[in-house]
Chain A
Amino acid sequence: MKCKNCSRQVLINDYCKDCFIKYFEKEFRKGLGNLKGKSLCIAVSGGKDSLTTLYLTKKFYPENKILALLIDEGIHGYRHGTIKSLRKYAVEWGIPYKILKFKKPLDSMNPKRPCSVCGVLRRYYLNKHARVFNVLILGHNLDDEAQSTLMNVFMRYASRFNRMTVKQVTHELFVKRVKPMRYLSEREVMAYFLLKGFNTSMRECPYARSSFRDVVRKSLNDFEYKHSGTKLSIIKTYDSLGIINNPVNLGSCNACGEPSSNEVCKACMILKG
């Protein structure tokens, strides 16, 4: 089989190696948008998605002020490997980084729904510490976005559904988000990561298998295998609803003052235990 752009041997997605890399970087660049002159905080875990995001953001905006921000959740034996990778690549690419830890390690909280608790606290700390930057860049890929969309439908989380990937949130403490890999699948991200010769820990979070997301992920991947293009269709359908352009009005948490859709934000509820 030949590449759809040139006559070379196809490698992935009907592209040869070079044309795939060009396609991937072009899509990423489109997803970043115009960030000229903006200060950028990049949320990183040290995994393939965030390292790819870090590398390409720096490639396309070498003059911008950039910080890689890692939140260490306190999960035994899990984060160590990716922190090592972040340190290595941040130095190699000349990007400053900061590592913050959960006040109470996730393991010590012994939560019933660890992924929900982890997600709430990570978003809370990221928003709080990215505040001095113009934009918070997230490495969410097409799979993450399609899963979240379905999860919000399955769980009847209408308000969360309505504020996924919105362009405008009317709260002065809420940092604008950009997701440059929203239309790039997890498989494409991994292929790019491998083709660039990057390396990191592939260890899975010990809590991941017990999550609702994991159930949705498996079902969606089975569906994608039988009906190629399903994930992209979910996201394109979401986009066509026009919700993205609706401004979201958030209030402030009565306890900490952070943006919240409730009187007391979920992070405060968790931290007070």
Chain B
Amino acid sequence: MKVKTLNKEFELKFNGSVLALLGELGLNPVEFLVVVNNELVHELRVLNGDELVEVIPVVSGG
């Protein structure tokens, strides 16, 4: 799958839930939301290989 964060974009081989993906990336789920193919998804949503996954920080500004 293609993973997009605020600063970078990369390919990742991953099977599992959104929550597991955040864990894999070392991110606190309290601080991020995940959008898959332009739609906000629940943290228990299982991701499949072909999706565009955007990891969006909930903290912005100062």
Q: Which residues of A contact B (CB under 8 A)?
A: 1, 9-12, 17, 45, 47-49, 82, 115, 118, 143, 186-187, 189-191, 194-195, 200-205, 207-208, 211, 217, 221-222, 224-225
Contact = CB atoms under 8 A, between A and B. Distances in A.
Contacts of B41: 11
Interface string B6-39: 1000000000000000000000111101010000
Interface string B22-62: 00000011110101000011101000000000001111111
Nearest to A119: B62
Contacts, number: 63
Most chain A beta carbons < 10 A, residue from B33, B40, B57, B58 = B58
Interface of B: 6, 28-31, 33, 35, 40-42, 44, 56-62
Q: Is the interface of A mostly helix, strand, loop or mixed?
A: helix
Top 3 nearest A-B pairs (CB, nearest first) are A205-B62, A190-B58, A47-B61
Given A115-B62, A118-B62, A205-B62, A225 B40 contact: no
A47 to B, nearest CB: 4
Nearest to A224: B30
A190 B59 CA distance: 8
Nearest to A79: B61
B33 A217 contact: no
A194 B60 contact: no
Given A194-B40, A195-B40, A221 B30 contact: yes
Contacts of A190: 33, 56, 58, 60
13 contacts: A11-B40, A48-B60, A186-B58, A187-B58, A200-B60, A204-B59, A204-B61, A208-B61, A211-B62, A217-B59, A221-B31, A225-B29, A225-B30
Nearest to A205: B62
B33 A204 contact: no
A42 to B, nearest CB: 16
A224 B58 CA distance: 14
Contacts of B6: 202
B53 to A, nearest CB: 14
A194 B33 contact: yes
Contacts of A222: 28
Given A10-B42, A202-B56, 16 more contacts: A11-B41, A17-B40, A49-B61, A187-B33, A187-B58, A194-B40, A194-B56, A200-B60, A202-B57, A204-B62, A205-B61, A208-B61, A208-B62, A211-B62, A217-B59, A222-B28
